Amino acid sequence: MSALPDTRSARVLIVGDVMLDRYWFGDVERISPEAPVPVVRVQRIEERPGGAANVARNAAALGAQSSLLSVIGRDEAGASVARLVAAEGVHATLHEDASLATTVKLRVVSRQQQLLRIDFETLPSSEVLAGKLADYESLLSAADVVVMSDYGKGGLTHIERMIALARAAGKPILVDPKGDDYARYRGATAVTPNRAELREVVGRWRDEADLARRADKLRGELELDALLVTRSEEGMTLFEDGRVTHQPTTAREVYDVSGAGDTVIATLAVMLAAGLAMRDAVAIANHAAGIVVGKLGTAVVHPDELAAALYASGASAS
């Protein structure tokens, strides 16, 4: 595995669905007399960028030049997303859609455990999405790697065109997928489904050999260079043409897997933009995932944490 490279000149463009992750923290001391549910006395509220915005903040936290292109509503939640990503050093181009309610995921947490999640969302208008595509063409030239963060909220309606433009410009494209129709991701450099997402597309596999056959078939059909499957407690597996590389999990404690996929694809993008080969970038992304699941909520990994993890594993980081 490679040492941690200098990421300061790495340029990553993240496109996709953004959201606001809102956390209500409190204590549960009694059950409601109205229904058999806990009563949470809220003591603290936190807001963090979610979805593609979390990918962008993860890339920025690793020292890269992180650009974000997305759509928000003309509302309080959208303003919060813009403010939060700016505070974390992300250069954001956020198109406002007056008819859109910015996606909000509200989580109620007590004693490090998530009790409830409430989602608020609508889909953006076609006019705003067309305007975003024009901005994408102008931002593409300044990027080393492009990330498509698909949360199924409608922000990547033009993803086929975006992939074609990035390919024509010679830019690697990484896709964090959603749903069971991967045909729209054809031509990307790599797609990074988790275990459950891959099963939706290729079905259940009997063993590792069967998984490899199904993964390679999908990779070939979609004309991908690589397919990276994140497998929770089983680590992650990279499928390339004629080669399978498995990375066992590095997590010591798991508090929360929220946003772990965002950290993986952000780290992978930054390491590729910094000049690493795919297999080395995946190994580092695996360490980043092991760190972030030990934190509560959507979180980031910093270079010193990653360097320490690499050092502990036997690699020296410069």
Place of tokens 């309080």: 76
Check if 216 is active-site: no
Nearest CA-CA partner of 109 in 40, 37, 21, 36: 40
Q: 3-class DSSP state for residue 12?
A: strand
What whole-number distance in Å separates Cα of residue 214 and Cα of residue 201? 10
Instruction: List, edge to edge, every strand of the sheet that includes 104-110.
Output: 38-51, 18-31, 104-110, 113-120
Catalytic residue among 144, 176, 256, 262: 262
What whole-number distance in Å separates Cα of residue 93 and Cα of residue 95? 7
Q: How many angstroms separate the first and last alpha carbons of the chain? A: 13
215-241 burial, b at 16+ Cβ within 10 Å, e below that, comes to bbebbeebebebbbbbbbeebbbbbbe
What positions carry a catalytic annotation? 262
